[in-house]
Amino acid sequence: MKANRDIRKLSLDQIKDFIVSQNEKAFRAKQIYEWLWKKSARSFDEMSNLSLQTRELLKEHFDIKPISIHTKQVSSDDTIKSAFKLHDEHLIEGVLIPADDRMTACVSSQVGCSLTCKFCATGYMDRERNLDASEIYDQVVAIRNQAEEHYQTPLTNIVYMGMGEPLLNYANVIKSVEFISSPEGLGMSPKRITVSTAGIAKMITKLADDNVKFNLALSLHAADDQKRDQIMPINETNTLEALTESLQYFYKKTRNRITFEYILFYNFNDSIEDAKKLHELVKRVPSKVNIIEYNPISNAQYKNTDPETLDKFSKYLEDNGVSVTVRRSRGKDIDAACGQLANKSVES
């Protein structure tokens, strides 16, 4: 018995070709596509404006492979972390982060990660595979539903900051943004979507050439190559100079300001000298800086900096004209905070 094709890997034109080949009316293809991407149908049975005969035809030839919520944890600060099960039994994690002015979905782009960043729990996992665009889309839909069910508030923002390196799953990430932001899909503004990368210069250049509309964030965490090499091995082949040039090109093409993400590690990258180096780097690209609280993990010895050092560091940047936001961690008690995603909820 042959395996059915995943219908969500087909374009509208491909669905139309199939429908016409089966002597169905061509307009049915648009109805099916709308059920898949606008109404987020999880089965053909949900497609109520199609005849039973058409639905059975689709079942005969195709599958829909939705993700499902395997476990869910709610933090004391109202953050919700979900472990999602994929059709092949792999598990990934996504997070709903509620705040006064926004409701953010943090989604994964890979099962595991290949980049081995020393401070990140996901970096200690193997990369099993890339996620399909539909699996990224499904995370957004599930987290959007949680926002509405738990907090009666619509989802406002999406960040690709979960498990994996988005730019190493380039095609599926771009396709998922299209499904999330297009009028034929969920219709969210791409200005509300941020893709975060550890820094792959040639792929940042490709984003620029593809003229993407979403925001780009770079996980920087050190403003000199020697320190960044220690915590982020990707820097050895993507130096700060190469990254800066690609970010300048990205801004020139898209006019989208870059966000630099910078975790302050105690006694490693939190001195005023480090702040000076960061200032020198960020002034070369129209940008802002998010200073992020570190969330310790069992695999690494890094510690969060102290509040006084953080204040001095951010004040130095602000005094020198850098736009700075200090991001406080959310969901630490359920290992849902930045750098903590590693399917721990599944183990417990």
330: DSSP letter: -
At 332 the pLDDT is 57
The mean pLDDT value for 24-50 works out to 97
At 338 the pLDDT is 52
On whether both 291 and 214 belong to a single domain, the answer is: yes
At 333 the pLDDT is 59
On whether both 343 and 268 belong to a single domain, the answer is: yes
The mean pLDDT value for 309-335 works out to 84
In this structure, are residues 342 and 122 in contact, taking their beta carbons and an 8 Å threshold?
A: yes
CATH of the domain at 267: 3.20.20.70
The answer to whether 120 is a known catalytic residue is no
* pLDDT > 70 in the chain, percent: 93
Q: For 117-121, 167-171, 195-199, which range has the lowest pLDDT when averaged over its residues? A: 117-121
On whether both 59 and 195 belong to a single domain, the answer is: no
The answer to whether 338 is a known catalytic residue is yes
CATH of the domain at 49: 1.10.150.530
Amino acid at 44: F
The pLDDT of residue 2 is above 70: no
Which pair of structure tokens corresponds to residue 27? 């307009």
Domains of the chain: total:
2
Residue in 24, 93, 165, 293 annotated catalytic: 93
On whether both 101 and 152 belong to a single domain, the answer is: yes
* pLDDT > 90 in the chain, percent: 82
Q: How far apart are CA 314 and CA 311, in angstroms?
A: 5
Name the band, by pLDDT with cuts 50, 70 and 90, for residue 342.
Answer: low
Q: How far apart are CA 86 and CA 89, in angstroms?
A: 5
pLDDT in tens, 49-64: 999 999 999 999 999 9
On whether both 35 and 122 belong to a single domain, the answer is: no
On whether both 47 and 77 belong to a single domain, the answer is: no
Q: How far apart are CA 67 and CA 139, in angstroms?
A: 8
State the sign of the Cα–Cα–Cα–Cα dihedral 299, 195, 348, 303.
positive
On whether both 12 and 55 belong to a single domain, the answer is: yes
**SS3 letters for 280-322?**
HHHCCCCEEEEEECCCCCCCCCCCECCHHHHHHHHHHHHHCCC
Domain boundary among 63, 90, 105: 63
At 301 the pLDDT is 82
pLDDT in tens, 91-106: 999 999 999 889 999 9
On whether both 252 and 330 belong to a single domain, the answer is: yes
On whether both 163 and 105 belong to a single domain, the answer is: yes
Q: What is the dihedral of CA 30, 32, 37, 41, to 10 degrees?
A: 160
In this structure, are residues 270 and 310 in contact, taking their beta carbons and an 8 Å threshold?
A: yes
Name the band, by pLDDT with cuts 50, 70 and 90, for residue 108.
Answer: very high
pTM of the model: 0.92
At 347 the pLDDT is 42
Residue in 106, 113, 117, 338 annotated catalytic: 338
The pLDDT of residue 348 is above 60: no
Domain boundary among 63, 78, 93: 63
Q: How far apart are CA 100 and CA 113, in angstroms?
A: 32
The pLDDT of residue 335 is above 80: no
On whether both 184 and 242 belong to a single domain, the answer is: yes
pLDDT in tens, 202-233: 999 999 999 999 999 999 999 999 999 999 99
On whether both 225 and 307 belong to a single domain, the answer is: yes
Q: Which domain holds residue 117?
A: 68-347
Compare 24 and 336 and report the one with higher pLDDT: 24
Domain boundary among 18, 37, 63: 63
The mean pLDDT value for 164-173 works out to 97
On whether both 48 and 165 belong to a single domain, the answer is: no
CB contact burial 11-34 (16+ within 10 A = b; e otherwise)? eeeebbebbeeeebeeebbebbbb
